[in-house]
Amino acid sequence: SIPIALTGSDILARAKNGTGKTAAFCIPALEKIDQDNNVIQVVILVPTRELALQTSQVCKELGKHLQIQVMVTTGGTSLKDDIMRLYQPVHLLVGTPGRILDLAKKGVCILKDCSMLIMDEADKLLSPEFQPSVEQLIRFLPATRQILLFSATFPVTVKDFKDRYLQKPYIINLMDELTLKGITQYYAFVEERQKVHCLNTLFSK
């Protein structure tokens, strides 16, 4: 998906967790950012605080030598701190839809120069809990924005969203393989009382 994302095409990618999809969207996102232009250029939407922190850490790690400023914002944290942080340069914003929408409505999160919107776990982001916020948020973006959707499942909500908001998307399906390349799976039948001992034995190998 990286070369396709770099062309500016919209993408709808179906992939399991553990397939490296975070790097697959973080790399082109970082590549497209002009670090001399101190505006928000990429937004990554995720459904949970934990995933936001994890994703922002990957972005920071990959972009640590690029002088790219990454910010993470989610509900349940200090809104005042987020507002103060947005007065400093932010190139890439990772967060949950409701919080980013709140900041955009307050006029402190300026998205008119955001050229790329990435939605990880899009099936969850397009559930009734999040979809209204996501669709309101898109109105703050320029009409020429690029959208990348990553989802393990394709419910009707994802298909409808694709039809309404994505322009001739490139569709990638990595779900055909039952197991992930490079990962071997094993299972062991053990009694309940032997589970911890079994794990300790395996981890010590």
Residues 99-115: tens digit of each pLDDT: 999 999 999 999 999 99
pLDDT at residue 17 in the model: 66
Average pLDDT over residues 151-164: 90
DSSP-derived letter for residue 12 is E
Beta strands across the sheet bearing 92-95: 70-73, 92-95, 42-45, 116-120, 146-151, 11-14, 170-173
Question: Rounded to whole angstroms, how far apart are CA atoms 125 and 129?
Answer: 8
Torsion of CA 131, 134, 161, 164, to 10 degrees: 130
Average pLDDT over residues 183-198: 79
* Residue 77 maps to a domain: yes
Q: Residues with Cβ < 8 Å from 68, sequence gap 6 or more?
A: 30, 33, 35, 59, 91, 92
> How many domains is the chain partitioned into structurally?
1
How many angstroms separate the first and last alpha carbons of the chain?
Answer: 36
* Residue 194 maps to a domain: no
* Cβ density class 9-38: b for 16+ within 10 Å, e for less: bbbbbbbeeebebbebbbbbbbebbeeeee
Q: What percent of the chain has pLDDT over 70?
A: 93
Average pLDDT over residues 86-110: 97
Q: Residues with Cβ < 8 Å from 196, sequence gap 6 or more?
A: none
Confidence band for 182, pLDDT divided at 50, 70 and 90: low
Q: Residues with Cβ < 8 Å from 27, sequence gap 6 or more?
A: 2, 62
Residue with the two structure tokens 């079994």: 198
What CATH number corresponds to the domain at position 161? Answer: 3.40.50.300
* Residue 156 maps to a domain: yes
Could you tell me where the DSSP H helices lie in 143-194? 156-165
Average pLDDT over residues 138-155: 93
pLDDT at residue 178 in the model: 46
Average pLDDT value for the chain: 89
* Residue 188 maps to a domain: no
Confidence band for 203, pLDDT divided at 50, 70 and 90: confident
* Residue 35 maps to a domain: yes
Instruction: Tell me which residue range forms the domain holding 98.
Output: 2-176
Judged against a pLDDT cut of 90, whether residue 32 lies above it is answered with yes
* Residue 36 maps to a domain: yes
Average pLDDT over residues 68-96: 95
Q: Are 171 and 10 in contact (CB under 8 A)?
A: no
Average pLDDT over residues 39-65: 94
* Residue 39 maps to a domain: yes
* Residue 129 maps to a domain: yes
pLDDT at residue 136 in the model: 97
CA angle centred on 54, ends 49 and 56, rounded to 5°: 95
DSSP-derived letter for residue 94 is E
Candidate ranges 56-65, 135-144, 184-193; pick with highest mean pLDDT: 135-144
